[in-house]
Structure formats: C-alpha cells, structure tokens
C-alpha cells in the first residue's frame, strides 16, 4: 500500500480549512490545529514549509496567520504533497538520480514508472477546491474521503 505521510495529510487538511475560511481573512495555525486536532508545533512547521514553497502567504502580527497564496482551484494536491514530502517515487529505482544498480536486468522499472506517473497525474488533477466541494465524476469524488491513502 502506498501511503502519504502524516505531514502531507495535515498539509492538505490545513489548505482545505484555509480554502473554506478564505472569506474570513488569514487564519491562525492554532485555529487550524484545533479544528482538526493536529499537534500545533507540527502544524506550524508544515505551514511554514507551505509558505516557503509559495502555496501559502503568512501574515505577521496579532491578527496574522495564513492564507492561500492562490485560489483553491489553482492548487493541486500534488503540489502540496511535493512541497511537504519532496518528489513522489513509489520505488527506490524510480528516482531523480536516474538508473539503479539493476538497470540492465530489471524488468519492472517501466511498469512501475507508469504507475508512478499515473499517481502523479491523478494527484495533479485534484484541486484543494475539490476537497471542499466534490463534483460527481471528478478524481476527488472517486476518492471520496480516501485521498490520503492509495492502495495498490
């Protein structure tokens, strides 16, 4: 089973919350943590990472907090996961470094690359806005709450 990290889960939950609250201005990390029972220190680190990657904007001050840097329709689940966990590879042979030691004799690299590309494409098609309002026949509706766990 391929499973996203808790950090990626929490990041997606936080962006969903911010999208739902977008008309209320910046939201504090504390409010998000309380809404989803996320450890506050961990969430603060995740939100900082998402802000550094350009997915969130942080506002300092007493009424500060976080807001989406772009529309919820313009942020994909894949972007969030990549910002938090780095590149998505389902096996160690599919890496940014190219070939592994078994390159000449391996018979499964190409099929696994196709699986990896399919997962990437599916996650790229899911928008933060889809997490709020799933539409029939969309990738998010097909996952129906199972976004954070993909069984293979």
The shares of helix, strand and coil residues in the chain, as percent rounded to the nearest 5, are 50, 10, 40
Is the sign of the CA dihedral 146, 147, 148, 149 positive or negative?
positive
CA distances from 85 to 3, 11, 64 (A): 12, 10, 26
CATH class of 2-150: mainly alpha
At 29-82, the pLDDT tens digits run: 999 999 999 999 999 999 999 999 999 999 988 888 999 999 999 999 999 999
CA distances from 23 to 18, 48, 101 (A): 9, 21, 52
What pTM was computed for the model? Answer: 0.78
pLDDT for 101 equals 66
pLDDT for 105 equals 77
């Amino acid at each position: 089973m391929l499973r996203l990290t808790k950090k990626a889960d929490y990041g997606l939950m936080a962006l969903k919350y911010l999208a739902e609250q977008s008309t209320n201005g910046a939201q504090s990390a504390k409010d998000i943590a309380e809404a989803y029972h996320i450890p506050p220190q961990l969430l603060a680190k995740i939100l900082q990472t998402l802000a550094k990657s350009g997915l969130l904007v942080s506002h300092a001050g007493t009424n500060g907090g976080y807001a989406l840097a772009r529309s919820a329709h313009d942020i994909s689940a894949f972007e969030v996961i990549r910002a938090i966990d780095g590149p998505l590879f389902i096996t160690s042979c599919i890496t940014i470094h190219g070939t592994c030691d078994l390159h000449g004799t391996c018979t499964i690299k190409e099929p696994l690359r196709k699986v990896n590309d399919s997962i990437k494409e599916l996650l790229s098609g899911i928008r933060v806005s889809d997490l709020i309002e799933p539409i029939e026949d969309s990738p998010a509706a097909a996952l129906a709450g199972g976004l954070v766990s993909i069984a293979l």
